[in-house]
Structure 1
């Protein structure tokens, strides 16, 4: 079964790499870059904090805490355990117009996808109306990592699951604080 999943992962990666999408290349490359170091999520958290009043500030703090916890778990623990090599963009013929700098960290799991979904899960707990828009952006960030050639689809899918679990856990823990201590 793992061999079948690996073949599916590689075949999907190659299909995306081999599909010409000139109108998508630049926007997805830019989105991928904006999501580096969670800049995108920090910016959205700032907007939520400013526009959302006290509940927005609590949501922003919780969401950024989820991203921080996620980054620690994914980048310090899971990537070191996974040690999956990054895709070979040259062999896959990923268009140069799509490419972002190739990270030096292992490929599995995708830290960008994990952070995106940790943020969304934390926001969804208290601001479900906002979460729908942010979730769509998280899906685009995840896809952009495959589109730019720096991740296999499986890295992104697993990163999304991990980030969701961490985001929901952090949001649950934040919501369990005694009343009056929010």
Structure 2
């Protein structure tokens, strides 16, 4: 199972609009507040965590760890998480980033130590990493509340890392997470659990 590769859709900002301008200003201020604040251990941990989630690798590894428990419930949770991730990734990269062609935030307020070594070249909205994280965690949780609770902090940290490292605006992350969760519910509807409606 593979995720859809990134598509280069870099483009300029959209034209002026009063409501959009106010929203983007608030979003930018929140981004600067998060990106410029020092969190103990964050500079060393979050960039590495963000990088580990590239192309869903972190979630494939997590699914393998769940499957290694050799319990049917954990294996079903891992499979549902990966199915949800695949749907979210395909949707975000083929539809989401083509619809809202938002440029990435400026790295000016982000300390050099926490910037990603390789900057993304795709458009910013929505966050694919956040979508994948939320899709996997939600998919796992829909199958197993216990395993979902264990995975949720990791998914949250990945989403946070995208703002902390300067890769995304907060609204990119929130929209990506919402779309990822929606993908997990869509997978549950398409592939309901055995014995459940």
- The TM-score normalised by the length of structure 1 is 0.90
Name the structure 2 match of 1:126. 143
Quote the RMSD (CA, aligned, Å). Answer: 1.5
Name the structure 2 match of 1:9. 27
Cα distance, 1:29 vs. partner?
A: 0.7
Name the structure 2 match of 1:53. 71
Question: Is it true that 1:33 corresponds to 2:48 in the alignment?
Answer: no
Structure 2 SS opposite 1:21:
coil
CA contact (8 A) 1:82 1:108 kept: yes
Higher-helix-fraction structure: 1
Cα distance, 1:5 vs. partner?
A: 2.3
Cα deviation code 1:55-114 (max 9, x no counterpart): 22222122111111111100111101111001110x33x111101121111100000000
- The TM-score normalised by the length of structure 2 is 0.84
Structure 1 SS opposite 2:115:
coil
Name the structure 1 match of 2:6. none
Structure 1 SS opposite 2:167:
coil
- Aligned ranges 1:25-174 → 2 under 5 Å: 25-89=43-107, 91-92=108-109, 94-100=110-116, 101-174=118-191
- Unpaired segments ≥5 residues, structure 2: 1-18
- Unpaired segments ≥5 residues, structure 1: none
- Aligned residue pairs total 176
Structure 2 SS opposite 1:149:
coil
For residues 52 and 144 of structure 2, what CA distance do their matches in structure 1 show?
Answer: 23
